[in-house]
């Protein structure tokens, strides 16, 4: 069974954030995800989830100053304390909103930081985050992202992500596998999912090129869905795409899964 979660950072952006929960529910979504909740009250978000009978799947750890270009801070040795503080802020929100997962965006390699330094501090930070999220009862995910959309993003392929996860060696840390990002970086989507299903905690989707709805690009999503379903994947797939037009009119591809 394919379980789809609406990504409220990209979908239903015809309305302000807190109104997107009801929009998702009106289209028969049962779950949501988004980048960050931190500009909003925990109680207001919880109210929207409860009022619309929605499950919270994930949100991201604080990722630095997004508007200034940060896309995570976990590979910057000088921002370790900021990272740790962000872990605790995310856990504070998670204690109310109750997501299944928190996602770590590792960030871009800062000038003056070597690859080995970035890897070392990332592992240190993930060990810290995995321990504290486990105590809080929420799993931690780490996500490789393509370097066309985010030049300089340090973690950009599945093998390196798996190597990091193995070195952290905490069962609370899993892989967030984004089909769109990994199609750009490496392809071989179905085999990669099949070979690593035990370590994949969450998936996301969009078509390529353009990062729009399935069916607008090169990916054979009907076959991808069929194969994922045959693997008995029990997690969720987040719809992290940019609607070509308004969100609702672009949901025809998803009707078999939402009805």
Q: CB count, 10 Å around CB of 71? A: 18
Catalytic positions: 143, 240
d(CA 66, CA 101): 21
Structure-block tokens of residue 191:
């085999």
CA dihedral 224, 225, 226, 229 (to 10 degrees): 120
Instruction: Please return the burial class of 230, using the count of CB atoms within 10 Å of its CB with bins 0-12, 13-18 and 19+.
Output: exposed
Alpha helices in the chain (DSSP H): 20-26, 42-51, 80-97, 115-136, 158-168, 179-185, 189-195, 221-230, 255-258
């Amino acid at each position: 069974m394919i379980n789809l979660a609406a990504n409220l950072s990209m979908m239903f952006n015809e309305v302000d954030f807190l109104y997107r929960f009801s929009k998702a529910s009106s289209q028969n979504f049962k779950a949501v995800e988004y980048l960050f909740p931190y500009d909003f009250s925990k109680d207001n978000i919880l109210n929207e989830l409860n009022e619309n009978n929605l499950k919270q799947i994930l949100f991201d750890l604080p990722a630095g100053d997004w508007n200034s270009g940060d896309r995570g801070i976990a590979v910057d040795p000088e921002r370790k304390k900021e990272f740790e503080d962000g872990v605790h802020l995310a856990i504070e929100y998670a204690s109310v909103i109750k997501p299944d997962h928190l996602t770590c965006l590792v960030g871009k390699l800062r000038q003056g930081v070597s690859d080995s330094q970035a890897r070392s501090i990332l592992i240190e930070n993930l060990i810290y985050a995995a321990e504290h999220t486990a105590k809080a009862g929420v799993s931690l995910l780490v996500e490789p992202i393509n370097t066309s959309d985010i030049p300089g993003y340090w973690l950009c392929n599945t093998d390196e992500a798996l190597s990091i996860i193995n070195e952290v060696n905490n069962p609370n840390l899993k892989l967030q596998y984004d089909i769109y990002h990994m199609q750009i970086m490496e392809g071989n989507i179905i085999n990669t999912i099949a070979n690593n299903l035990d370590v994949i905690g969450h998936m996301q989707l969009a078509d390529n090129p353009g990062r729009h709805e399935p069916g607008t690009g090169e990916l054979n999503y009907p076959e991808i869905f069929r194969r994922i379903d045959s693997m008995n994947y029990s997690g969720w797939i987040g719809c992290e795409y940019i609607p070509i037009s308004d969100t609702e009119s672009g949901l025809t591809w998803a009707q078999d899964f939402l009805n």
